[in-house]
């Protein structure tokens, strides 16, 4: 499996059988919208234009924009709605190649109860927003990491060049997590790579 980052809460996850793109963002963000072919597109908030700019995605992908469980091309996706002030934003559990990814999209508060979290089971990779203001703050994000206890955490939705949204840099979150991180263009990972103790922080360089 390979994971690449476009920016905001948009990722490209490539498995043996499918390409998954999450939350392709609109040009109103200041960034160039994601482009390319996909088999599955996941939208955590289908009515928010900023996070549902699918026009650049080709290949006639299967669209997942509502809570529920979906099985497409060897990928199981489970959408869970989380109440966020006056609206709902879905988070998604993405399973393929025996790897379990929990993507917290662009939530501002993590309201899953302990028993709901247990029901989700062990999480290998946690993708979560860390930029504050409209999403989780660095300190709130680090508390979520402690709750979920993933093997790998990938921060998202933070300040970057050309982005016009008011967000903090990823550095605040890295500091909250103890200051250690690995930086890479893409994460290529197999289940056997996820045997280490503790949580590894990986910062992905946005695709351009």
- pLDDT for res 172: 96
Average pLDDT over residues 38-46: 96
**pLDDT, tens only, 101-151:** 999 999 999 988 889 899 999 999 999 999 999 999 999 999 999 999 999
Average pLDDT over residues 89-101: 97
- pLDDT for res 114: 87
Task: From 68, 13, 16, 69, select the one nearest 41 (Cα to Cα).
Answer: 13
Residue 40 bridge partners (DSSP): 20, 62
CB-CB neighbours of 123 under 10 Å: 19
**pLDDT, tens only, 178-202:** 999 999 999 999 999 998 888 999 9
- pLDDT for res 86: 80
Helix (H) or strand (E) holding 36: strand 36-37
What's the topology of domain 2-204? Metallo-beta-lactamase; Chain A (3.60.15)
Average pLDDT of the chain is 95
- pLDDT for res 197: 86
Q: How far apart are CA 50 and CA 126, in angstroms?
A: 22
**pTM of the model as a whole:** 0.96
User: Is pLDDT above 80 for 208?
Assistant: no
Helix (H) or strand (E) holding 175: helix 171-176
Q: How far apart are CA 81 and CA 12, in angstroms?
A: 21
**Tokens 């103790």 sit on residue:** 197
- Cβ proximity of 157 and 131 under 8 Å: yes
Q: How far apart are CA 51 and CA 8, in angstroms?
A: 9
């Amino acid at each position: 499996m390979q994971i690449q980052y476009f920016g905001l809460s948009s990722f490209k996850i490539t498995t043996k059988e499918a390409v998954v793109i999450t939350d392709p963002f609109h040009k109103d963000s200041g960034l160039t919208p994601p482009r390319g072919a996909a088999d599955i597109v996941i939208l955590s908030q289908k009515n928010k234009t900023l996070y549902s700019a699918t026009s650049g995605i080709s290949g006639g992908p299967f669209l997942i924009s509502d809570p529920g469980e979906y099985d497409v091309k060897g990928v199981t996706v489970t959408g869970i709605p989380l109440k966020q002030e006056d609206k709902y934003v879905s988070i998604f559990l993405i399973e393929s190649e025996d790897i379990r990814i929990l993507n917290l999209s662009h939530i501002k508060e993590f309201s899953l109860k302990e028993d709901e979290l247990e029901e989700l089971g062990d999480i290998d990779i946690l993708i979560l927003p860390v930029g504050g203001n409209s999403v989780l703050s660095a300190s709130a994000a680090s508390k979520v990491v402690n709750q979920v206890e993933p093997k790998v955490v990938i921060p998202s939705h933070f300040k970057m060049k050309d982005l016009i949204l008011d967000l903090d840099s990823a550095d605040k979150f890295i500091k909250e997590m103890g200051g250690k991180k690995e930086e890479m263009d893409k994460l290529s990972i197999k289940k056997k790579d996820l045997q280490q103790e503790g949580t590894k922080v990986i910062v992905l360089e946005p695709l351009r």
